[in-house]
Every structure is written in structure tokens, then in C-alpha cells.
Chain A
Amino acid sequence: MRRLVLILCLLASPLFAVQPDEVLDDPVLEERARALSEGFRCPVCRNESIDESNAGISRDMRLLVRERLVAGDTDAEVTQYLVDRYGDYILLNPTAEGANILLWLAAPLMLVLAGGVAVASVRSRSRSKDVAALSDEEQARVEELLGR
């Protein structure tokens, strides 16, 4: 009985990320395949790339990536090939097109904005009153008084 449950579970349990039989013989192509797979989302999982995912569809996509690479596609062509079939949704690295431009610009814009406010406030603060620094003699005197 236990065996039966085990077998059923193994059948039901999806495959386990990249399988040995998927690995390409050419190490350079394989490395490109791995790097590419890390950028594609598994369409049926929660926030997993097809490289990490156990789902059947991810295995199909991994095999597709390798097939295209062996056929001589460039990385960009492979990406386009998959996007044409599965949609923009599979790109873990969103394209900088359309509304997504806002996403990519958000960080630099916010940095400029926050940095600008900070610089303005620091400058106005330092200008409001003259802050005299201690000269070296005064610094020495302070340390002497503090018993250092």
C-alpha cells in the first residue's frame, strides 16, 4: 500500500527543475540556456522562473529554449520566440516599453527628487546660521578638558 501511495505521489509530483536529460552537451550553449531560463517566468507557478520550477509547462519551455539555441538563434531571438507564444507575462525582467517605462524610471526619478529635497534642505539649514568649526587648537583643548 505504501509503495502504491509513493508511486502515485511520484507520478503526481511534477519533475524536479532542470533534469539531467535536458542538459545540452555543449557547455557554452547550456550556460546560455540556463541564463535565459532564469529570465522566464513559469506561467502556472507563483513567482518562479522556469529554471527553478517543477511544472510540466516549464520543462516544455526549457526544452524549447534549448531547441532554439541549438537551431542557432541568438538570445534575443529566443526571447522573442517565447514571448510570441506565451506573452509579455513570462518576462521576469519587464521590457522598458509602454507603461513599463514608468517602472524603470521610478527609481532614478525618486532618487533625483529625494536627493534634491535633501540637498536643498541641508543647504538652507547650513546657511541659516553660521556654523563655526573648531580649530585644531580648540579641538585639542576640548579633548584635554574631556580628560582624553
Chain B
Amino acid sequence: MITELGHFALILAALVAVAQMVVALVGAHKGWRGWMAMADPAATVQLVLVAASFAALTYAFVVSDFSLRLVVANSHSDKPMLYKVTGVWGNHEGSMLLWLLILVLFGACASWFGGNLPASLRARVLGVQAAVSVAFFAFILFTSNPFERLEFPPFDGRDLNPLLQDPGLAFHPPFLYLGYVGLSMAYSFAIAALLEGRVDAAWGRWVRPWTLAAWLFLTVGIALGSWWAYYELGWGGFWFWDPVENASFMPWLLAAALLHSAIVVEKRESLKAWTILLAILAFGFSLLGTFIVRSGVLTSVHAFANDPERGVFILLILAFFTGGGLALFAWRAAAMEAKGVFGTVSRETALVANNVLLAVSAFVVFIGTIWPLVIELASAQSRWVFAGGVFANPFYAMGLFDGPEQVSVGPPFFDAAFTPFFVALSLILPVGAVLAWKRGSLAKAVKPMVPVAILAVALGGLAFALQTGRSALGPIGVILGVWVVGGALMDLWLRTGRGSVASRLGRLRRLPRADWGKATAHAGMGITVFAVAALLAWEAEDIRVAQTGDRWQIGIHEIELAGVRDVQGPNYFGEGADLIVYRNGREVGHVFPEKRIYPVAQMPTTEAGIRNGILRDVYVTLGDPQEGGGWAVRTYIKPFANWIWGGSILMAIGGVISLTDRRLRVAAGAAKRQPKAVPAE
């Protein structure tokens, strides 16, 4: 019964969304106030209905209602409660419902906090937001209904993929979706502005917090996913340039560009058209990411062709909203006249450079991700399956293509093609961040940074002298990291103006939070850049067959295999090793790597044993038992591993600090209707 109520609530919400879309957009176009006002209650009702529907699905998972197809496929009565709940979005249908829930949550927020927006702009924003949700309601109800029942319910379920039964991955999708979907706000504002034909500083002040929020959720989501890969997949990799990862990284890069260019709109009323274009593209890449992950197109084109219903649906959504947005942009962008002029050397120019680098790097990730697909579609053997028919490949038939049939684009390409952009970004960041608005002086901006540069190069040289081997990667990471972090601190210090050290220190505390947020986020990026380089450059590895009692050396550590025993969990069993870690001959702790088997899902997993340290992790995984006795054991030293995610979290914290800036709080306080409570996110 509860399931049916949830299903009904979802259908009802879809109808409300249709009404909200039509009434708000028509009302705004005709200038009918009553029609425009309808969007506000509709947005709240949509949220309530979808939340009820999501709650119904969650209930079915919690009580293990095996009459639901989705619960059978993704749950098991022995599964711990945490993973019963997170199993709701550990599958296609449920995760799309979560996507939708977050979408309508953002829509409702726009209505609650949008009191100080002009009525027609607000109605248009809510109308566009409803249009996006209509598309996803239709997608869920017609192709991915989570509320499907089974005629003959089985006794038990088939369990959730064991790799997903993990706290890191349990909360990875919600954060990622908050980010993806948060960008729909930027999109709705961009489309609404194009419909209005007007973009001003107030628009920039409105778009920026939403973009910032979306970006910081994406940052946390990506960091969680990377951290999960590090400890779960068994060899301590943290980024693989996998299409699914790239799908989240492209919107992140564009959101980062967007939140910087929105500053220029807000402060200087310049770069308006570009900012609108970025907002459309950023959400376009979010949709593209959803398409890549949900259609399975990049795993295999053929898998996609065999079951194209869902993929084609999302492709249509993607084409409609991105193509429609871009067409509207081409038509109306000329109306966005820039007010603020700026000199060739100015903060604006620095932010333009930031945007060029971020946008082109996103393009590099994009082309590398879709390239295998392009080649496969263009190659001889592929037949195009379209609208039920099979066609010969027109490119090949016309003799336009001659080359390999299938190619792979992997980490070596991305490392080579992407890294230069982040090196360049890191190099210009500290100077660009202190340039004056409108017209700056390069000499004035560079001068305070000279000591930072000297310190960076000196520490880089020290790292080069101390390390074994001649690799330049580690020292370059140190130089970039110190340069960016030092630059962020110097930026804060310069903001305190002139005067005695004591008075400047006093002013430091009273600086606007936006300044603190900026410095924190920039420092976080510096730390991540450093940590990635340091880990790749200074990692150590040991592979061996170890007998109980064996002791081996790796770096300044020694590891001893104390024993291997059976382990038994609630829904898995397997073997666990106990290893003692010594540093400089002194015992400092134990690690317990495991090999697990989840009998229901029939899947083995490895659980690494990690001793987290500030400077390095000791990372041990247990392999197979060997024929002559003993176990395969792999030991890694992962220097500065935690700094990668620490830096990412610092970036997100910078975003949070910036969101609490007085400027935004005052803007929210000016709302006609005070929001009573902040919705839980």
C-alpha cells in the first residue's frame, strides 16, 4: 500500500511540475501576476510529493519488501541497516529518483529564498526548473520506474554489489547529485535571463551562491569517490580517468570557471554573455555525465544499441536542454551588453585566463572521454542501429574514414594533455588573485609574491636534494603547492591594507568572509596539487610471498606478518591478516587487510589494511595463498595520500565560508518572506 502511495505521489508530482512549467512561463511572458505567483506553492508541493515518494521507496528497502523488483535486485535481509538505506540509491531507478528529489529540492529553495528577485525573473527560473523536472519525471515514470512489483516475490533478495557496501561510496552519489543538479539552478537562471533579455549585477549575485554550492558539493562528492577508490579497490589508486569519473570532473571544471566568471558579472557587470554560456554548458555537462553513467554507452556502444531505451531518452533530454539553451543563447546573447570596461592588465583579465584554462581543460577531458566512441562510430565494422533499422556506416561508405577500428584513451593521454592546464592555472593564480579590478599593475601584483616564489623554489630545491632518484615530478609539486598556498596567505595579508603588523593582524579577523573563503579554497587547491605530485613521485611498493613471522623492509618501515585468520561478517566471510608495522625498529601499530567473499552476490572483494599517517600511509593488501605455503602480500608506502582529500575538503570549506559572507546573508535577509528553516541537504 505504501508503495502504491509513493508511486501515486510521483505521478501527482509530475502533473504539478507540468502545471508549474506552463503557468509560470506563460504568466511571465504575458505579465500576469496571478499566474506567476502560482509557481511558488507548486515548487513546494512538488518537493513534498517527491519526498513522500522517496520515503515510500526507502521504507520498502528498510522493511525488505521483496515484492518490489528493485528491492529484490539490490537488497538482502542480512544486509546491515545502513546499506539497506543507501541501497535505495545504489541502483539505476533509485538513483534517478534521488536525482529528481534533489532537483525539486533546489526548485523549492529558489522559491523560498527568491523573495528579493523580480517577480517575472523568479517565475521564469521556476518555470525552467519545472521543465527540467518534467523531463526527468517522464524518464523515471516511463523507462525507470522504481515501484514495479513482482508477481511472485522471492524469499530473499540478491544483495547490493559488495563494492557499494561501504560508507565512502554510500554517500558519494548524494553529494555528486547535489552538485550535478545544483548546476540546474545556474542553468535556469541563465535561461530566465535570456528570456528576460537582461543580466545585471543582481543576477550575478544570485547565480554565484547556487553555483558555489553546487561546486562545493561536487568537490566533496568527487573527493569521497576518490577516497573510496583508494582504500577499496586494492592498489591505492585515487584517480583513473575512467569515463564515469570524467563525467563528474567535467561539470566540476566548468562550475569552477562559472563561479569565477560570475564574480566578474557581480562586481563589474562584464563577461555577461560568456557567463550565461558557461552556465548552459555546465549543466549540459551534468546531463552528459548522467547520460554517460546511466546509458552505459562508453562501456560498449553495442550494449547501448541493444537496450537503447533509457540512453536515448536521456540523450533527448540532453539534446533538448543543451541545444535549446544554446540556440536561445545564439538568438538573445547580443542583448547582453557589457557595462564594465577593463584594462588589459586587471583582475578581470586574470579571471578570463582562469576561465580559458578551465574551459579548455574540460574540453580536453571531454574529447578524451568520447574519442573511443567517435572512432568506433566512424569505423568500418560498425553498423548504425537507428529507429529499428540497421544501416551501413555513412562515414565509412563515403570513404571519409581510414584508421584503427577501436582505440583506447587512458591515463597516459589525460596525464599528458590535462596536466599542463593545471600547472598553468597554479602558476598564474597567486598573481591574478591580487591584481586590482578594472586596471591593475603587474609590478604591484608581482612584488609581494616574490618572497613566496623564492620560498617555493627553495623548498622545491630542498625536496630535489633530499629525494632519492632524479625525478622532477615531486619537486615541481612542492614548488606549485608552496607557491599557491603561500600566495593565498599573502593575498589575505595584503587585504589588511597598510599600517603596523598589530593593526593588520587585528584587521585580518574582520576581513569579509568572502576573502577568507577565497584564500582557503585556493590553499586547498595548492595542497591537492602538491599531494597528487608527491604521491605519484614518492610512492614505494613491495610485492612478495610472506610466511607467518616473515619481516621485510620498505622505506623506513618494517612489516611483519603475524598471522592469517578466518573472518566472519554479517553478510560476508573471508580471511584477514594481522601485520605489525615497525618504524625505525619500534612497533607503531597493526594493519588488518582482508579478503572477503559475499556469497549472495558471489563476489570477492579486498579490504586494504591502512595505517593512516600525516606524512604517509602504510597500505597493505592480502593476496592469494600460495602453493608452497604463505600468502601474496603487497605493501605500499603512500606519501601525503591524505593531503589529496584534505586539500579537496579545504576547497569545499572555502566555498562554505564564502557562502556565509555578509553580502549573501544581507541579500537573503532582504527577502520579503523570511525562510523559517533551512532545508536539510
**Residues of A that sit less than 8 Å from B by CB:** 2, 5-6, 9-10, 12-13, 15-21, 23, 38-39, 41, 46-49, 52, 87-94, 97-100, 103-104, 106-107, 110-111, 114-115, 118, 121-123, 125-126, 128-129, 131-133, 143, 148
Contacts and interface: CB of A to CB of B under 8 A. Distances in A.
Contacts of B8: none
B399 interface: no
A9 B360 contact: no
A33 to B, nearest CB: 12
Given A47-B240, A133-B439, A15 B360 contact: no
B388 interface: no
B269 to A, nearest CB: 12
Contacts of A87: 404-406
Contact of B343 (A18, A46, A126): A126
9 contacts: A9-B597, A13-B597, A16-B623, A87-B404, A94-B407, A106-B363, A114-B359, A118-B355, A133-B439
Given A6-B597, A49-B410, A93-B413, 12 more contacts: A13-B597, A16-B606, A17-B235, A17-B634, A48-B240, A92-B409, A93-B412, A94-B409, A98-B403, A133-B440, A133-B441, A148-B497
Q: Which 10 pairs from chain A and chain B are nearest by CB?
A: A92-B410, A98-B403, A93-B412, A88-B404, A13-B604, A99-B403, A89-B406, A16-B623, A133-B439, A148-B497
A143 B498 contact: yes
A98 B353 contact: no
B5 interface: no
Contact of A93 (B240, B343, B410, B623): B410
B383 to A, nearest CB: 19
B356, B416, B499 interface centre (most CB from chain A within 10 Å): B356
Contact of B270 (A5, A99, A125): A125
A21 B441 CA distance: 62
A2 B574 CA distance: 10
B344 A126 contact: yes
A18 B342 contact: no
Contacts of B632: 16, 19-20
Interface stretch (B118-126, B364-372, B609-617): B364-372
A88 B364 contact: no
B242 interface: yes
B338 interface: yes
B401 interface: yes
Contact of B402 (A88, A98, A129): A98
A15 to B, nearest CB: 7
A90 B349 CA distance: 43
A53 B438 CA distance: 54
A125 B363 contact: no
A115 B355 CA distance: 10
A26 to B, nearest CB: 15
A126 B440 CA distance: 12
Interface in B346-404: 348-349, 352-353, 355-356, 359-360, 363-364, 367-368, 371, 375, 378, 401-404
Contact of A39 (B338, B405, B412): B412
B378 A99 contact: yes
Interface in B320-351: 338, 341-344, 348-349
B401 A99 contact: yes
Interface in B234-251: 234-235, 237, 240-243
